[in-house]
A and B are shown apart, each in its own frame.
Chain A
Amino acid sequence: MTGKLRRLLLARRGGRSWHWTDVASYAYLALGVLLMFGPVLWLALSSFKTPAALLEFPPSLLPMAQSEVSVPGYPQPLPLFRVTMEDGSVRELAQVRRVGILAQMVDPKTPSQTIRVPTDRRTPVRHMALAVENYTDPLTQFDFLRFLRNSLVVTVVATIITLLINSMAAYALSVYEFRGKKLAMLGVIGTLMIPITIILAPVYLVVTKLGFVDSLWAVILPGAATPTGVFLLRQYMLTIPRDLIEAARMDKASEWRIYARIVMPLSMPALAVLAIFSVMWRWNEFLWPLAVLTKTEVHTLPIALNAFQGELQTQWHYLLAMTVVTLLPVALVFAFLQRFITSGIANTGMK
């Protein structure tokens, strides 16, 4: 398709292959790639840096760490430097200690002899080092696994409930004619206008009354019925041939059986779109969990990240690594379902 259009364009322009607008387009796209991917790439690279490397300014692109050597006679490994000697030769020396602008150094090969070197004549020897402990430490030091588990539970359970009750409502609103149908539709449209942002405190009251405060149910339940989901599924179910349903009724299938064994399987594509939406909403949800989950044990990942970055001494090395972990599932889902998601959104105009 693209190739054909291109040939069409080239033919029109009488063999000139590059119009200035083509150049401008590709330049714009290249800049876009840098601006959109760059920050995420920078996050990923930074998340593998040691705390010391994170403090460096200007920062190095790749996660680097200073090389160290064990020198006989010294209990600790010593940092390695490249030193320009007075005669102009360059040697690799290990630093024992630094006093003012002078550094005491030893050659690892001849450890008995110390050399004094001005500090401005040495540059650290560095190698690429991935600080994997940024990822492994939070697992043991903080309740990171618990946050991960909380987020997973909320996402999975909420998505299942959403799919079930939204599809039931959509089934009722698409297959049947009944008294009050218009009113029910109006109710669904009405909820579209009431984002949780403007009813935070009252929903909090309802959740308290139900006894869900500081449990994951407080996050799972309030958003489970979505007007978006009902609309999406209803629109799709309307296209299911009525004959199929009539035939099933002839065979004495119950209405529930028709819903569960005929309409649901046929609505799989729409259910899949809603499932992806729901997973996205739940995994990323922030304001409501922030308001209702006050205990650390029930924090979901975004809330935990926010709490963590708000602390006085932000431990960026851990924070960056946890951010990557939070981002990873979404990135994977997107990588595999990209076309599906984009066409789903383009065609429904929802997110």
Chain B
Amino acid sequence: MTDTMRSHGEPARGPSAAAAAVTTGGANALMRLTDPPMRAVQRLIGAARMPYVFLLPNLVFFGLFVFLPIGINIVFSVTGGTALFPAERPYVGAEHYARLLDCGSYLEAASCREDLFWRGVGNTLTFTVFQMVAMVLFSLITALVLNRPIRGRGFFRAVYFFPVLLSPVVVALIWKWILQRDGLLNAVLTTAGGEKILFFVDPGWAMFWSVFVSVWAHMGFYTLILLAGLQAIPRDVYEAAEMDGTRPWRVFHRITLPLLWPNLLVVLVLVLIRSVQVFDEVFVLTGGGPGTATMMVVQYIYTTAFANQVQNFGLAGAASVLLGVVLFVLTLIQLFLTRRRAS
């Protein structure tokens, strides 16, 4: 927690005394309204059972919108038809799973019965590998640079960070505008004597820019985590190395990297979890195209369940369950790593 967050006891100060009075007045009125019924509840069930009352709303939300849907998802995945309500759907057993996993060769999407799903898997894998390498590399370099005694560090940190807050749709549109046929980048290219490139018509370029844009949008977040890790490394370790006349590369290799490793690992897993679920930016940027060149697994699920003419909740459910298993394992790894870092 931050320093500001550690200090207790300071009531929220409004912009002016009048506003503060209004706030206090509002809080008082709210208290007069809510306290009697809650007090009655407490008298009825006893103070020891009050935590259940406090937990209830949040758990109802979790139950309705997370746990119940997980169950329904599994039901969806083993039932067929186009009906939304589970009771109206005929049981089909593992048919959807069999359909998804039915492949001549897992290395060749075209040999699969549900080739779109495997194209999505292949694209997501490609995206994930390139994005992980690029994201970790650039956020590490940026964190190392920002950790140096440079002027205006706060400003530069903000520069790299601000895209994190932007809506993925906004991010995608910003870059779409730059990358379009008559966009800024092609203007620069032609001025430099090159030729226009149709970035969204070429599958390779479309994937490149999908990775690039998502690294652009999110690297600030990982830079922050790594920077926090770098700043936690005790300064005297470096001073000792300097006394011994250790070369900078060796310092990085033998001190910085090992001490930063736990943070780096967390970043790696976080990037992995997020890129397996990638959808927003790529979908708005390329629409999954050209063809299916940048169609990711989540887009496949979304399209199968919602955007197709025939809404196939069963197939989408089965694909979701498979993706969920992958994410579950990845998150367990992340929790394990975070806990180890904390201890």
Contact = CB atoms under 8 A, between A and B. Distances in A.
Interface of A: 2, 5-6, 8-9, 12, 21-22, 25-26, 28-29, 32-33, 35-37, 39-40, 42-43, 46, 55, 57-59, 164-166, 168-169, 171-173, 175-176, 178, 180-181, 184, 187-195, 197-206, 208, 210, 221-225, 230, 235-236, 239-241, 254-257, 259-261, 265-266, 268-270, 273, 280, 283-284, 286-287, 290-291, 301-302, 305-306, 309-310, 316, 319-320, 323, 326-327, 330-331, 333-334, 338-347, 349, 351
Given A197-B279, A225-B58, A241-B8, A176 B161 contact: no
Nearest to A57: B182
A31 to B, nearest CB: 11
Contact of A334 (B67, B145, B165, B221): B165
Contacts of A36: 159-160, 162-163, 216
B292 interface: no
Nearest to B190: A58
A309 B284 contact: yes
A198 B301 contact: yes
Interface stretch (B102-110, B115-123, B253-261, B320-328): B320-328
Contacts of A25: 145, 148, 150
Contacts, number: 323
Given A32-B156, A201-B73, A208 B84 contact: yes
A173 B76 contact: no
Closest 9 CB pairs of A and B: A225-B61, A202-B69, A256-B38, A169-B58, A202-B72, A284-B167, A58-B187, A172-B54, A5-B149
Nearest to B235: A5
Interface hub of A241, A260, A319 (most chain B Cβ within 10 A): A260
A256 B39 contact: yes
Contacts of B335: 189, 192
9 contacts: A58-B187, A178-B49, A187-B62, A191-B67, A198-B73, A199-B72, A260-B27, A268-B10, A342-B157
Given A29-B150, A197-B298, A224-B61, A284 B156 contact: no
A261 B34 CA distance: 12
Contacts of B64: 206, 210
Interface string B85-97: 1100000000000
A323 B170 contact: yes
Contacts of B84: 201, 204-205, 208
A306 B301 contact: no
Interface bracket on B = 35 or more
Given A165-B61, A266-B9, A309-B176, A201 B323 contact: no
A291 B302 contact: yes
B174 A254 contact: no
Contacts of A21: 148, 248
Contacts of B207: none
A205 B158 contact: no
Nearest to A310: B287
B31 A2 contact: no
Contact of B174 (A43, A208, A283, A284): A43
